[in-house]
Every structure is written in structure tokens, then in C-alpha cells.
Amino acid sequence: MELMCSGELFFCWTMTGKQRIQWRSMCKSLVLGTLLTSCMILVYCLSTPQIHYSLPEVPVPYSCAHRPTQSQHKSTINNSDTAYTCTPKVDIMFMKTHKTASSTFLNILFRFGEKHRVKFAFPDSRNDFFYPSFFQRSQVKDYRPGMCFNIICNHMRFNAPEVSKLLPVDTSYITILRDPAELFESSFHYFGRLVPFTWKIPGDDKLAEFLRDPHKYFDPGSFNSYYLKNLLFFDFGLDNSLDVNDPRVEEGIKFISDRFQLVMLVEHFEESLILLKDALCWEMDDLLFFKLNIRKGSTLSKFTPELRARALEWNAIDWKLYQHFNQTFWKKVDAYGHQRMAEDVAELKKRNKEMTSICIEGGHAVEAGSIQEKDMQPWQPIGEKSIMGYNLKKNIDKAHRNLCRKMLMPEIQYLTELGVNLWITKLWGHVRDIINW
């Protein structure tokens, strides 16, 4: 009898456990669905670009950089033949492309801007300029015609005429590209859940399944579809749906080439920074960095040669764009000097290694769950916590304490510290956290 009761109790407990799991799952889905729908409608309404009225044309000052003394901002540039002194260029348009280590470079820019006390053109209420709509000056926080800004660097869909009316005439235009196959893999992972047509892709390896027959799944009119086809070309304000042989593709590449003085490459990030230092008369200290927004290895898709070829074919415009600027990049390296470049890259890596030993607990990035300070938590994609971050060392010496914290600070937290109101971004962050629950 006791055995039977035990069996019945076990049966009842099992059923209760299953029911409890089912009810919890149903309630969670209902709550998440309601919250997500309500918040998305609210965010959409609030973030829909406003009607842009014609703004008066007021000439932008040559520069509004704060320069207390000229000697304070002089840099000495050495090459194999001569040494000369120059003044750092502080008027910069950084075209922040997606999934291209641009958050790492943004951290460099933020620190440079603080050092030189320049004026940033920041968005208002969110961390981008109403992407994917085209950039408008009116999207800049507290903008008034004739105001002077030195640096603009948040995500936007590039709109050259509007940008040129915001910044001084001698502004340096900088951007960064990444191998399109690797970029596509990263974008598919990070944004895939936000693109509705991916929801119907079967199997565990949705990326591989999609690349086997992209046209079967891709819907150019689908919400957020631009994230998964020629994203670089789209970021520059160009048509990402063109045939790669369309003359407008070459025209677009020429447009970018004429506008941007330096196009950096993720795959050669240190070399890119050295070229930047040379072009803008920066110092080696300005280039120090830690890699931010890196993914843990278990979430990386391994491309076979066949899948890589398919990814490049699917993103053929971006591949053509990348090949063009890969050639121009190495021409700049040739002009700089390969031996000189190798020495400077070695010096930068040495300095970064020294900063790692000073700043980072354990000397490496850790998974989100192991990050001790909330202020050091990076932004995560919906549905998982795949982006890694860092722990600051305890008892960092006073000389390095502030620099270490700034170098490790994620983008959202740094923007907040610089005074940007990110209430829409933070609202979406709370929704995302609930979904990741």
C-alpha cells in the first residue's frame, strides 16, 4: 500500500511538474508577447522619423575645436627620412558601418574627443540617427542651423548633402569595411531574429540553409531585410538590391572613394589605425584599444569554402566594394612603407598588451554572466547572451584607473556618460532583457 501511494505520489508530482512547466511557459509567452507588441508599437511610433522641414542654410564655421594652446596639441611625425610637427585633425566624420569592429573604433573616437574637448554631433533619445532612414541634420541633439560640430560617429544611413551641412568644410571622412562573408555571418547571427523571413527557415543551422537557396527565403520588402543583403552598400545610402553589374554600383563605389579619405579594413585593424594616425596627425596613445563587442566562439558559424563562396555571391555588391578598397588600402600601405608600418604595428600591439596587463582581470574577455559590474555589460542580441565583455582589475594605479575604465566601457554606457539621452534605446533594452529571460 505504501509502495502504491509512493508510486501515485510520484505520478502526481510528475504531472504537477509538467503542468507547472507548461503553465510557466504559456504565461511567459503571453507576457512576453503582450509586452513586446506594446513596446514595439510604442518605440516604432516614437522613433519614426519626424517630418523634416527645409532648414535655413547657414555656413558652418571652419572649426570649433577647443585649442587652449597650440603647443599643447602639436604632434611630431617621424618617417624614414624626416620628422615634422603638425596639429591633430579633430573634425571627423566616421561612417559607422554595421558589424565591422566599429564599436571598438568608436571607443577610440570618444576618448580622442574628450581629450581635445571637441563637440560631438549625437543623436537624441537613441544610439543611432533613426537608422535605416537617411540622415538628417534635424536628428542631431539640440541642433540649430549654423551650429558647429567636430565629430559625428553614430550609426546612420549616409546622406552626404546633409552631413556636409553639419560639419566644417575640411572635415576628414573615415569609414571601415569588413570581408562581406564574415560580415554576413555576423549580421545573420546578431540581427537574424529581427528579420521576420528568417523565422520560417527550418533546421538548426539557419545560416547554411539560407545560403543554399537565398531566393527561396529572402523577401526584399520584409521588415529589416537590409541587414541580410549588401549591408555595407545600404549603410552608405545606396541601393543594395542592384545587380552587381549595374553601372550604378560602380558609380556608388566612386562616390564613396571620392568622399572618404580613409577606408579602414577590419582584417587589418592595426595597420588601419597607423594610416589614420598618419593622415590625421594623431599620437600613438590615441590609438590604444581593446576589442569590444566580441562574440564567444561557440556562437560562430564555421564557413566551408562552398558556403563562403555562396555568401560572397549573395553579397556581390559588398564584395565588389570590399575588393576595390582592399586595393586602395594596400596602395596607402605601400606609400607609407612596409618596414615602417611593421615597426609601428609592433609598437601599437606592444602598448595594447601592456594596457591589457594593467587593466583587465585575467587578461582576457569573459562571457556576459561572468562580468561583475553592470556598467561593463555590453548590449546583447535578442534571444541569447553571446557578446563578451571584461572585468576591470582591482586596485589599478591612479595614473591608469580612468583610462582603463574608458577603454573597457561599452558603447551605450559611454554615450550616457557623454550626456546622450538614450531613453528609447534603454526601453528597448528592457524589452530585450525580458525576452532573454
pLDDT profile of the chain (437 residues), mean per 10? 42 47 51 50 47 64 64 57 80 97 96 96 95 97 91 98 94 98 95 93 94 96 96 98 98 98 98 98 98 83 92 98 98 98 98 98 94 91 86 95 96 94 82 65
State the pTM of this model: 0.85
Neighbours of 247 (CB within 10 A): 9
- Residues contacting residue 395 through CB under 8 Å, at least 6 positions apart: none
Residue 289's closest CA among 301, 278, 273?
273
Is the Cβ–Cβ distance between 73 and 87 less than 8 Å? yes
CA atoms within 13 A on the CB side of 281: 14
Identify the architecture of domain 92-436 in CATH: 3-Layer(aba) Sandwich (3.40)
pLDDT of residue 14: 45
Residue type, position 374, single letter: K
* Pairing assessment for the beta strands 262-265 and 172-177 based on DSSP bridges: parallel
Gap between the Cα atoms of 7 and 325, Å rounded: 71
Q: Which residue has the cell 571637441?
A: 118
Return d(Cα 45, Cα 5) in angstroms, integer: 59
Partnered with residue 298 across adjacent β-strands are: none
Residues sharing a CB contact under 8 Å with residue 177, sequence separation 6 or more, in sequence order: 97, 100, 232, 263, 264, 265, 266, 321, 322, 325
**pLDDT number for residue 321:** 98
User: CA 359 to CA 144: how far, in whole Å?
Assistant: 40
Q: Which helix (H) or strand (E) holds 77?
A: strand 75-78
- The whole-number pLDDT of residue 10 equals 40
| pLDDT score recorded for residue 77 | 62
Q: Which residues lie closer than 8 Å to 295 by C-beta, 6 or more apart?
A: 186, 189, 386, 387, 388
